[in-house]
Structure 1
Amino acid sequence: MWNSFGPGDPDTIAALLRNYLTDNNLTRSGFAEHMGWSNSSVNYYAKGERTPSPRRLIKLARVLGVEVRELIREEFR
């Protein structure tokens, strides 16, 4: 079975992403377009159902203004 969770912490990513969207008055679809990602990917991340690939984690951390390690599950640090 395909594992939808990489090294990212789904709960942390979801919370930070939702806060970022709210604080910046952005929709998930607008954020997806800005990032060059699909709407479904951003929806999965915002609901904590999947985590971004390592490459996307780096990009997401930059946008959110956090260190990548803040988005990584403890066992991967």
Structure 2
Amino acid sequence: MENKYVYKDQDITIDVLMKIEDVVNKIAQKESKQFDEVYLNFLDSKTYRALQNTNSLLWQESAEFIIDDYYRERAT
């Protein structure tokens, strides 16, 4: 099984994966937590699911924007 992120027939897998890594690294640093712990929490979020939906275009946003979205989600 091959997991790829595609937008308008372009493979953007590396872009999405790098964005996820950047977001998780920044959250981990901000919260003084381990990458793995933050990553597992992030995987269970609506924000992560939106990142996986390439049509949402969230993957094009800055890491800071995505982090704000993630924190808004957690506050509700």
Sort the TM-score into its range (normalised by shorter chain): 0.3 to 0.5
- Which of 1 and 2 has greater Rg? 2
Structure holding more helix per residue:
2
Normalized against structure 2, the TM-score is what? 0.35
TM-score by length of 1: 0.35
